[in-house]
Amino acid sequence: MELLKGIFQYPFEEMANGPAFLLQVLWEGFVAGTLYSLLALGFVLIFKASGVFNFAQGIMVVFAALSLVGFHAAGLPAYVSLFLALAVMGALAWTVERVVLRKLVNQPDLILFMATIGLSYFLIGFGEFIFGGEPKSMITEELGLPTGSSVIDIFDDIVILQHLDIAAALIAAILVIGLALFFSKTRIGRALRAVADDHQAALSVGISLNQIWAIVWFAAGIVALATGIMWGARSDVSFALQIVALKALPVLILGGFTSVPGAIIGGLIVGFSEKLFEVYWGGLLGGGVEGWFAYVVALIFLLFRPQGLFGEKIIERV
Amino acid sequence: MFKKLIFGAVAVAMVSGAQVNNAYAEDTLYLPSLSYRTGPYAGGGVPIANGFSDYMTMLNERDGGIGGVKVVVEECETGYNSQKGVECYESTKSKNALVYNPMSTGITLQLVPKAPVDQIPVFSMGYGLSATAVGEKFPWGFNYPTTYWSQLSAILKYIDSKGGVKGKKIGYIYLDVGYGREPLPLLEKLSKSMGFSIARFPVAGKEMQNQSSHWLNVRKEKPDWMIMWGWGAMNSTAIKEAAKIRFPMDHFIGNWWAGADADLAPVGKIGKGYLAANFSGIGTDFPAIKDIFTHVLDAGKSTQTTDRDQVGDVLYNRAVANAVIVAEAIMAAQKSTGKKVINGADMRLGLETFNLSADRLKELGLEGFMAPIKASCKDHEGGGGIFVQQWNGSAWEKISEPISPETDVIRPLLEEAAAKYIADKPDWKTQTCS
Q: State the ipTM, two decimals.
A: 0.85
Predicted pLDDT at B7: 52
Contact between residue B119 and residue B96 where contact means Cβ atoms under 8 Å apart = no
Q: Give a yes or no: residue A313 inside a domain.
A: no
* Tens of pLDDT, residues A28-80: 999 999 889 888 988 888 888 777 888 899 999 999 999 999 999 999 999 99
Greater confidence, B62 or A10?
B62
Q: Give a yes or no: residue A179 inside a domain.
A: yes
Q: Give a yes or no: residue A61 inside a domain.
A: yes
Provide the residue range defining the domain that includes A68: 2-304
CB contacts of A290 in chain B (<8 Å) are 204, 207, 210, 213-214
Cis bond leading into A77, ω under 30°? no
Distance of CA B98 to the CA centre of its chain: 17
Contact between residue B66 and residue B31 where contact means Cβ atoms under 8 Å apart = no
For B383, counting Cβ atoms within 10 Å of its Cβ (0-12 exposed, 13-18 middle, 19+ buried), the class is: buried
Q: Do A138 and B266 touch (CB under 8 A)?
A: yes
Predicted pLDDT at B14: 46
Strand partners, B254: B228, B276
Predicted pLDDT at A242: 83
CB contacts of B41 in chain A (<8 Å) are 240
Q: Which of B13-22, B100-109, B174-183, B312-321 has the lowest mean pLDDT?
A: B13-22
- 3-state class of B31 per DSSP? strand
* Tens of pLDDT, residues B368-413: 999 899 999 999 998 778 999 999 999 999 999 889 888 888 899 9
Predicted pLDDT at A318: 62
Out of B201, B209, B244, the one facing A240 most closely (by C-beta) is B209
Q: Give a yes or no: residue A317 inside a domain.
A: no
Greater confidence, A78 or A107?
A78
**Structural domains of chain B ordered from first start:** 27-146+282-384 (3.40.50.2300), 149-278+388-411 (3.40.50.2300)
b/e code B68-91 from CB counts within 10 Å (16+ = b): ebebbbebbbbbbbbebbbebbee
Out of B46, B176, B216, the one facing A24 most closely (by C-beta) is B216
Q: Give a yes or no: residue A42 inside a domain.
A: yes
Q: Do A238 and B202 touch (CB under 8 A)?
A: no
Neighbours of B12 (CB within 10 A): 10
CB contacts of B47 in chain A (<8 Å) are 134
Alpha-carbon distance of B169 to A230, in angstroms, equals 33
CB contacts of B219 in chain A (<8 Å) are 21, 24
Q: For chain A, what is the domain count?
A: 1
Query: CA-CA distances (angstroms) from residue B169 to B164, B194, B214?
Result: 11, 11, 16
User: Could you report how far apart the first and last alpha carbons of chain B are, in Å?
Assistant: 68
Q: Give a yes or no: residue A315 inside a domain.
A: no
Alpha-carbon distance of B320 to A115, in angstroms, equals 42
Give which of A238, A272, A273, A277 to mutate to test B binding, by max B Cβ within 10 Å: A238
Q: Kindly report the nearest CA distance between residue A282 and chain B, in angstroms.
A: 9
Alpha-carbon distance of A124 to A130, in angstroms, equals 10
Among A218, A182, A235, A253, smallest CA distance to A88 is for: A218
Q: Give a yes or no: residue A316 inside a domain.
A: no
Q: Give a yes or no: residue A310 inside a domain.
A: no
Contact between residue B209 and residue B237 where contact means Cβ atoms under 8 Å apart = yes
CATH number of the domain within which A32 lies: 1.10.3470
Contact between residue B403 and residue B162 where contact means Cβ atoms under 8 Å apart = no
Look over chain A and give the mean of its residue pLDDT values, rounded to a whole number.
87
